[in-house]
Amino acid sequence: MAIANNSNSLSYALAVDLGTGGPKVAIVSSRGEIVSHGFSSVEMIFKDGGGVEQSPEAWWNAIVESSEQAFLNSKVSPSEIEGIGITAQWSGTVPVDASGEALANAVIWMDSRGSGPIRRAANGSPKILGYGMSKILRWLYFTGGAPGLSGKDSLSHILYIKEAEADLYQKTSKFLEPADYLGARMTGKKAASFDSITLHWVTDNRKIDNIRYNNALISMVGLDKNKLPDLVPSNSVLGPLREKEAKELGVPSGIPVVVGTGDVHSAIMGSGAVRDYEAHLYIGTSSWITCHVPKKKTDILRNIATLPACIPGKYLVGDEHETAGACLTFLRDAVLFPNDSLSSFESPSDLWKKLDQLVESTPAGSNGVLFTPWLHGERTPVEDHTIRASFNHLSLSSTRADMVRSVYEGVAYNSKWLFDAVEGFTKRELRPLRFVGGGANSPVWAQIHADVLGVPVSRVADPIHVNVRGAGLLALLSLGKVSLDEIADSVPISTTHYPNKELSSTYLKMYDAFLEFYKRTKSIHRKLGV
């Protein structure tokens, strides 16, 4: 392992990872170690019509609490912290005033209320896949992609606010991504990185080192350019940490804050799969499969595109599954241990371990029970915000174990659907595949993925901290404390799971049925509504 820093010359960053469930804050060393960490939860606020919001003030309070936890559990002194790295849930929108204060709740990545506004903005004749031909061609030429019509991109959020909350739109000084809101709170500078701004779909991404707003795109969608943040290069220093926020976080004021990045970007860094075509699978609330690539490319049919990465000069493969780990929390909260008049049991503290044991007690294929994991629609390789999850082929002989295993397998079938699309997109065999996120804590789920995908799946050590590790390493990379090659060599693998070929016929049959269910039921879901 080629590490330039020895144990006596380690550097440390404070890393903030604002996930959907709440923020993790960690002290990360230049060897990629999570020295200590803290976590506090933040609730989601559900609104009619597909709205999902969170409170920016609740974010900050949870970050402060998590930072306090991290230092209580650490032997590293606050004076040793050399910089701050930020990553956050991507494709969210925070309207702020001139001082950077949030004017309303954040509209987060799960919110689909912008579907109508973005469809109207993208409309035209002749039409291709729901887009006006001239508009989609312009988006593809400049950005390499296009806003999804599900209404869940940052652009769609802003258009929704403009239509439905005109007063808020007028009062807003800037619309910021969650990571950029945190950067503004820490430094006072309302700016976005070349990578964090991507899902506004109004930047010219043809020259990866010189990304800028495109006035024609801004005019085409009807945005006010003055309400968009300034752009700064990816992984650059945003500014010094302000005194008030430094006191709240418990670190010295004036230390450099590195510009924020999205969770997809930081996960690449935290997985250690940082070289071109080295891929990882992330399973948290949502999931994705991505890698760095050297060139700009788009597949509009499968909703995959190469987008600016957090590493200068690089693109990443952009795709997403809406719900993955969320399927297990849904199973816990809505099926096994709901908080209702019939429930008298609380979920055990070791529930996930018990679920793994239950899954192992029933055979591959779940005795024919098939779960489709589309609890909140889907983005890739189909963009369809109306499809929904279901348990299929239940019988009087079906057991709870069959149903639980079918959830694990249903997410894996969805991963295969995406994996095949991404390999086709990159024209490369992406193997072995690194596995990160909370889902990678389960060796059973990792093995199921290896068996369903038919490729080796390597679980990264401490996988739940992949984003916060990535944010810390990015900050240290920006400050010259670690190199990209050192990051690639420093992230350890816990276990590699190899596919069991004896199960391939079973899983192939179930996977074929999985794809057939989508084809045959998508129109039914559309009729039933959101």
pLDDT for 342 equals: 86
- Contact, 102 vs 95, CB < 8 A? yes
DSSP 384-449: BTT---EEES--TT--HHHHHHHHHHHHHHHHHHHHHHHHHHHTS---SEEEESGGGG-HHHHHHH
pLDDT for 166 equals: 97
pLDDT for 458 equals: 97
Residues of the chain with pLDDT under 70: 1-8, 530
pLDDT for 503 equals: 98
**Domain 325-461+495-528 falls under CATH 3.30.420.40:** yes
d(CA 312, CA 317): 15
Tokens 């944010």: give the residue: 471
pLDDT for 7 equals: 43
pLDDT for 1 equals: 29
Q: Is 517 exposed, middle or buried (0-12, 13-18, 19+ CB in 10 A)?
A: buried
- Contact, 412 vs 422, CB < 8 A? no
Structural domain boundaries in the chain: 325-461+495-528
d(CA 138, CA 218): 12
Structure tokens, 230: 């300034």
* Those residues with Cβ within 8 angstroms of residue 183's Cβ, 6 or more apart along the chain or in another chain: 86, 189, 191, 238, 257, 259, 260
Structure tokens, 393: 């082929």
pLDDT for 104 equals: 98
Is the peptide bond between 126 and the residue preceding it cis, with omega within 30 degrees of 0? yes
